[in-house]
Amino acid sequence: MLLEIRNIRVHYDKIEAVKGVSLQLGKGEIVTLIGANGAGKTSILKAISGLVRPSAGEILYDGADITRRSPSDIVARGISHVPEGRRMFKLMSVQDNLRLGAYLIRDSKVIAEGLAWVYEHFPILKQKCNQLAGQLSGGQQQMVAIGRAMMARPRVILMDEPSLGLAPIIVDEIAAIITTLKQSGLSIVLVEQNAHLALKLADRGFVLETGSVTLSGKSADLLGNPEVIRAYLGA
C-alpha cells in the first residue's frame, strides 16, 4: 500500500475526535471517507498531512513512518492537501495562489510545467490568472485549490469536501477533474458530504461515526448497503 494508517487516535484537549482508525490507500486508487459532521473525517486528513499530531498509532507513506513529520516534509515527500473551504489568499492573484503550491520547488522549469498543467485542465484559470482570487466564483476557487495542490507534484492528494457549496453543474465538473487525476496515476483520499458522489468516484469507502470506522468495503457494495442507503443516500 502507498499510504497506510494504523490505529490512529486524535485528541483536541480532552475530546477524542478519532478513535483508533485504520485504513489503506493503494497506488492509483481513490478511497473515500463518509459520515456525518463531527465523525472525524477532517481530523484524519489533518493527521496525514501533519497539521495535527495523532496521540496514538502510526501513519506510513511508501513504507516510511511519517507520523511525526512536519507538514512541509510531508508535502516534499509527495502528499498534498486540498482543505475544506478552499482557503484562498483572496487579495492575491490566481497565479500567485497557484505558485504558493510550489513553494518547496526551486526549479523554475518545473514550476512553469506545473502552471501549464493547471491551465490545461482549468482553462478558465488561465483567462483569470491575473485576477484576484477573492473575485472568483466558488467553483473557480475550488479549481485554484486543486491546482495549487497539484503544483507540489504529489503522488497522493487529500481532498476535503471539494463539492461543498457548489452548484450541481460545477459539482459535475469537479467530479470529472477528480476522475482525470486518478487516471493520471494519482492516489486520492476523498472526504465528501455528498456520499453518493463520493462512492461513485471511489474504489473503496470507509463509513465513520463519532471517530470510528463502522463499515468499509468496495464502493459498489457500500452503495447497495441498506444501512448506508438509509443513513447517507437519502433513501
Tell me the pLDDT of the chain averaged across its residues: 92
pLDDT digits (tens, 9 = 90+) for 151-196: 999 999 999 999 888 888 888 988 998 999 999 899 999 998 888 8
Q: Which domains does the chain have, with CATH numbers?
A: 23-52+69-232 (3.40.50.300)
CA distance 29 to 135: 34
**What does DSSP assign to residue 204?**
E
Calculate the CA 14 to chain-centre distance: 27
Q: Contact 92/148 with Cβ under 8 angstroms?
A: no
Residue 226 has what pLDDT? 84
Q: Beta partners for 120?
A: none
Least confident of 95-99, 191-195, 231-235: 231-235
Residue 138 has what pLDDT? 86
Kind plus residue range of the DSSP H or E element containing 138:
helix 138-150
What amino acid occupies position 122? F
pLDDT digits (tens, 9 = 90+) for 1-30: 899 999 999 999 989 999 999 999 999 999
Q: Beta partners for 159?
A: 82, 190
- Indicate whether 135 pLDDT > 80: yes
